[in-house]
Amino acid sequence: MSSFFGFSFLRSEPNIRTFQHFSGVVDTVPSYNIDTILFSGNTAFSQEYLLQHFASSIKVQLSEPIIENCIEQLLQLYENNGYPFTSVSVANISLLSINNEERISIELEINEGQIVYIEQYSIEGNKKTNRDIILRELRMNNGELYNQTKINRIEKNLRRLNIFSSVNKPQLLLDNNGGNLFIKVEEGSFNNFNGIIGYVPSTNNQHGIVTGQIDISMRNLFGTARKATIHWQRESELTQEIALRYSEPWLFNIPLSAIIGFAQRKQDSTFVQRVTDVNTDFLFNESFSLGTIFSYEQTLPSLTTTSSVFSNTIITGGIQAQFDSRDDILSPTNGGLYHVQIEWGNKTIASSRFSLQRLFTNVEQYFSPTTHQVLSVALHTKEIKSTKLEFSDLFRFGGATTIRGYREKQFLASSIVWSNTEYRFLFSQQSFFFGFFDAGYYSRSALAPFLFSTKEFLFGYGAGVRLETRVGLLGVSFALGKGDTFSQMKIHIQLINQF
């Protein structure tokens, strides 16, 4: 039997790992496979239980990364079960001869440290936000066993509220009463104004159009994390829409939100459409949510014009799921957003009823190939199916928020798929220059008497800039559509102001 001196892995305090490497230690050990891993000093877990966590490390060749991985797993096991001050060292590495085959035995010495229960929580920096609102987002209780995985989620849970400009990593303080988790936050602006002004140059059959969109978001009403939004959009002189939404979080003291919305669209002199919806959203963790949808729609055609729209009502129900791993909501640099929504229902015209289905998907992914550069890639789809489709049922797209280089909501379709690709050069977290390419495909069946069957591939491209100014984030983009000349360039100006 031969022995080799080892190296130690210590957790000097929660959230900090110190790895003390001795140069050439593992290099002095011949290239043999690991036969056994022994533990000493363990009282919280049995030998058999610990060995179950290291089954994948048995019978593999000894290397420093293998030992590091074993001890990292051991530290995580302890810190997620109440032992944040555990330290582990390699006490001995022995060479064994078993059936004329030489193998390695490793002994890991564990210093468990004291067990910690979180008995209280100290919050600092919340001037307007209620303390209880922060505590419920921790998803931890008084007297709970220390769990590093849960504590690591706290920062993201609080940032997800989008009401704090900064959230420090939680710190563990110890006294005679047990553990005290200290959390420091800094409140940011609770409200957001997002305005877009667009100009579409004149064409042979249409004069130049100024379009506009305003979104106002209030994210922390009365310091309770309740939310309300107002949306207004003008696409032409006669067409505009308005929408109101309100979100009530943590119904029944569980992470269940209820969202109530109302929207109205006036489509030139053709029809008025009103939509009332009630959604629920259950947040399983800081990233994944699952919800339900109920919607009631009413379309009222104009009495003074002949249109392809009948007076009708649509009632639908459905489900939606979302996974959001973005590192920042306003200016993400890594992570992704994945959303899917499915609705089923019926459309009623007079005494006739027709089935209807809708599908929406949204995928966004952000990469940072190098420092201060971000690649943003998004893919979206919308589809509606019914035995009785009308002009008012179709999706409207094109413009600043879908495929840039076209007039706002220029196209009508029953099925759409489009992508947005941006490459950003960051000046700061919020400011950047970007180039973009948007592409899409849409189709629809003929709708008598005004709309014919069509399908078309579209693309738009251009460049823009977004800058932090005293009045907020100011963005300007220049876009060209398929076949456009520079005289047909679309200009969009966006202002995002937080107050």
The secondary structure of 410-449 as a DSSP string is: -EEESEEEEEEEEEEEESSSS-EEEEEEEEEEEEE--BTT
Is 22:8 a contact under the CB 8 Å cutoff? no
Beta carbons within 8 Å of 464's beta carbon, 6+ residues apart? 433, 434, 436, 475, 476, 477, 478, 492
CATH of domain 117-187: 3.10.20.310
User: Comparing 2-111 with 117-187, is the CATH topology the same?
Assistant: yes
- Look at residue 22 in the predicted model and tell me its pLDDT: 37
Decide if 203 contacts 192 (C-beta within 8 A): no
Which residue is associated with the tokens 């738009």?
460
Q: Which residues on neighbouring strands pair with residue 181, listed in sequence order?
A: 121, 172
- The Cα–Cα gap between 478 and 240 comes to 23
pLDDT of 6: 42
* Residue-level pLDDT at 181: 94
Contact, 221 vs 191, CB < 8 A?
Answer: no
Nearest C-alpha neighbor of 133 from the set 179, 171, 164: 164
Domain map (residue ranges) of the chain: 2-111, 117-187, 191-498
Ranges of beta strands (E only) in 224-333 are 226-234, 240-248, 256-267, 271-283, 288-301, 312-324
What does the alpha-carbon distance between residue 11 and residue 440 come to, in Å, rounded to a whole number?
52
Return the C-alpha torsion angle 62, 65, 70, 73, nearest 10. -170
Mean pLDDT, consecutive 10-residue stretches, the chain (499 aa), reads 39 41 46 79 89 70 77 90 92 75 82 93 93 92 92 89 89 87 91 80 69 89 93 85 95 94 90 95 92 96 72 96 89 94 95 94 96 96 92 89 89 95 93 96 80 90 91 89 89 80
User: Which residues sit opposite 56 in a β-bridge?
Assistant: none
The SS3 assignment for 262 reads strand
Task: Output the pLDDT for position 184.
Answer: 95
The pLDDT of residue 430: 86
Q: Interior CA angle at 211 toward 209 and 213, to 5°?
A: 180
Instruction: Give yes or no for a contact between 9 and 75, defined as CB atoms under 8 angstroms apart.
Output: yes
Strand, coil or helix: 132 = helix
Instruction: Supply the DSSP string of 100-121, one letter for each residue.
Output: TEEEEEEEEEEE-----EEEEE
Q: Which of 359, 424, 413, 354 is nearest to 386 (CA)?
A: 354
CATH topology of domain 2-111: Ubiquitin-like (UB roll) (3.10.20)
Q: Which long-range contacts (C-beta less than 8 Å, at least 24 apart) are formed by 42-46? A: 42/110, 42/112, 43/112, 44/78, 44/81, 44/82, 44/83, 44/112, 44/115, 45/77
Assess contact for 136 and 146: CB atoms under 8 A: no
**Cβ(44)–Cβ(112) below 8 Å:** yes
Q: What is the pLDDT of residue 25?
A: 45
Residue 440: name the closest of 391, 489, 405 by CA.
405
| Burial environment of residue 108 by CB neighbours within 10 A (0 to 12, 13 to 18, 19 or more) | buried
Query: Please, what CATH class does the domain formed by 191-498 belong to?
Result: mainly beta
